[in-house]
Amino acid sequence: MTENVRVRFAPSPTGHLHIGGARTALFNWLYARHCGGTFVLRIEDTDTTRSTEEYIEAIIEGMKWLDLSWEEGPFRQTDRFDVYRGYVRNLVQQGKAYYCYCSAEELEARRQEAMAQGRPVMYDGRCRDLAEPVPGRTPSVRFRMPREGRTVVHDLIHGVVEFDNAQLDDLIILRSDNTPTYNFTVVVDDVDMKITHVIRGDDHLNNTPKQIQLYKALGYEIPKFAHLPMILGADKTRLSKRHGATSVMAYYEMGYLADALINYLVRLGWSFGDQEVFTREELIGHFSFENVGKAASVFNPEKLLWLNGQYIMKSDPAKLAELVVPFLLREGIVGEGQQVDMSWLAKAVVTLQERAKTLVELASSLRYFFHDPAAYDDKAKAKFLNEKSLPVLTELRDGLTALDDYTHDSIEKVFTSVVEKNGIKLGAIAQPVRVALTGGTVSPGIFEVMEIIGKETALRRIEKALLAIG
């Protein structure tokens, strides 16, 4: 790689890290990793009325959970106000920006008028060439946009997109309260931070010609742009809370694996043949903008759930055991401070990872590995814990009690001998045992469960079931 690639993720901390933001962060991260470049995290907190510390922390928490690491930052734009003001002064001195004395009320009145007359809402340029300041007014600073010609955006995803300069507003770069505005700070920072590729949502494509004009005015090289297609809800409107959870950490709470969410997010816009499941190494290796489409993609929670199930199924049981512990705590299955034998837990996890779609499901189905059933499912009890099962269950208990080596195979032998002696089907004994051990009729292989919970626990639960039959 000849070029020293530098990219950035520049969230505004006016909310949690959401699905769209995380996808933008991911594509930046992937491109940086693919090129051996640098990933910068920059917090765009210039809107001090809507930005909060809590959201900054939440964004960082989301990035860390997704394991999207950055080399530089987090920088904060509020730490750099003096830098932006310096750049504004330079532009004013060079006549590339000017003071505007129009008040907010005047601008609003003109805006209303333009709308009423069906004209585009744009600044009319009346302060562009003022000879003297207007007394008693604190000015804002506007950028002197070229009025003729066109600005061409060469976008790595959208190709060539042209804009008529006549339609670009003389945008405010410094408000009358001395705070700089987004389109200006973003350019100054991308210049100062030597960003080579600006990768962001295509809702910013319309800002790009204005920013290109600012680069030109400041005399800096224009970076490459890649505007990512939007993410929509099932009704084809922009993804929002109406469509369900959009915050990344909500997916953590619901028991999603970070790798599964990453894999799902990357496919919102990027593809690589028909492949659906990728390791991070594969993603880093294959990532390119050529495979990013222009069309918006639809967020499909069912597909994400399916993918999560695939990841759980294929995960290393020891790793899954680690990941499920917080959920066991949350469900009250494990107490605070309780020591859990992690290699034992990994064995229990193996029996369930084929079926669990989330860590929440996995945790709750692990309950009977830790606790005797608090109650039996009514139907299951009526059907399987009754007079008919009493003798075979008793026989099984005796057989198990006599076992010296209590293993999967020896347990199976006890079952086989009860089955053969009584001329019954395996289900006629396995189901009552399952209800006795787990409280219900659905569980992994019963011999596995029995081996993992241990002889003492299994016998205690069978004994309890026998008592319940009466």
Active site residues: 241
Q: Which stretch binds ligand GLU (CB under 6 A): 5-13, 115-123, 125-133, 158-166?
A: 5-13
Between CA 29 and CA 19 the distance in angstroms is: 15
Q: Is 385 in the site for ligand GLU (CB under 6 A)?
A: no
Q: Which stretch binds ligand GLU (CB under 6 A): 8-16, 109-117, 327-335, 346-354?
A: 8-16
* Cβ at position 162, least distance to ligand GLU in Å: 20
Q: Which listed residue (76, 204, 355, 383) binds ligand GLU by CB under 6 A?
A: 204
> CA angle at residue 116 from 112 to 118, to 5 degrees?
115
Q: Which is nearer to ligand GLU, 183 or 263 (CB)?
A: 183
Identify the three-state secondary structure at position 298. Answer: strand
* Cβ at position 9, least distance to ligand GLU in Å: 7
59 token code pair: 């964004």
Q: Is 10 in the site for ligand GLU (CB under 6 A)?
A: yes
The DSSP string of 392-413 is HHHHHHHHHHT-SS--HHHHHH
Q: Which is nearer to ligand GLU, 13 or 432 (CB)?
A: 13
Q: Is 11 in the site for ligand GLU (CB under 6 A)?
A: yes
Residue list 205-234, contact with ligand GLU (CB under 6 A)? none
Identify the three-state secondary structure at position 268. Answer: coil
Q: Is 186 in the site for ligand GLU (CB under 6 A)?
A: yes
Q: Is 355 in the site for ligand GLU (CB under 6 A)?
A: no
Q: Which listed residue (44, 45, 155, 451) binds ligand GLU by CB under 6 A?
A: 44
Are the CB atoms for 310 and 279 separated by under 8 Å? Answer: no
Is the peptide bond preceding residue 74 cis, with omega within 30 degrees of 0?
A: yes
Between CA 446 and CA 452 the distance in angstroms is: 10
Supply the DSSP symbol for 151.
Answer: E
318 token code pair: 């020891």
Q: Is 155 in the site for ligand GLU (CB under 6 A)?
A: no
Between CA 140 and CA 102 the distance in angstroms is: 8
Q: Which stretch binds ligand GLU (CB under 6 A): 7-15, 165-173, 386-394, 395-403?
A: 7-15
Q: Which is nearer to ligand GLU, 15 or 317 (CB)?
A: 15
Q: Which stretch binds ligand GLU (CB under 6 A): 4-12, 144-152, 261-269, 344-352?
A: 4-12
Q: Is 45 in the site for ligand GLU (CB under 6 A)?
A: no
Where helices occur in 301-341 by DSSP H, the ranges are: 301-314, 317-330
Q: Is 12 in the site for ligand GLU (CB under 6 A)?
A: yes
Identify the three-state secondary structure at position 31. Answer: helix
Q: Which listed residue (200, 227, 267, 357) binds ligand GLU by CB under 6 A?
A: 200
Between CA 214 and CA 91 the distance in angstroms is: 10
> Measuring CA to CA, how many Å separate 202 from each of 41, 53, 199, 229?
19, 27, 9, 6
Q: Name the residues that contact ligand GLU, by CB under 6 A.
A: 10-12, 44, 186, 200, 204
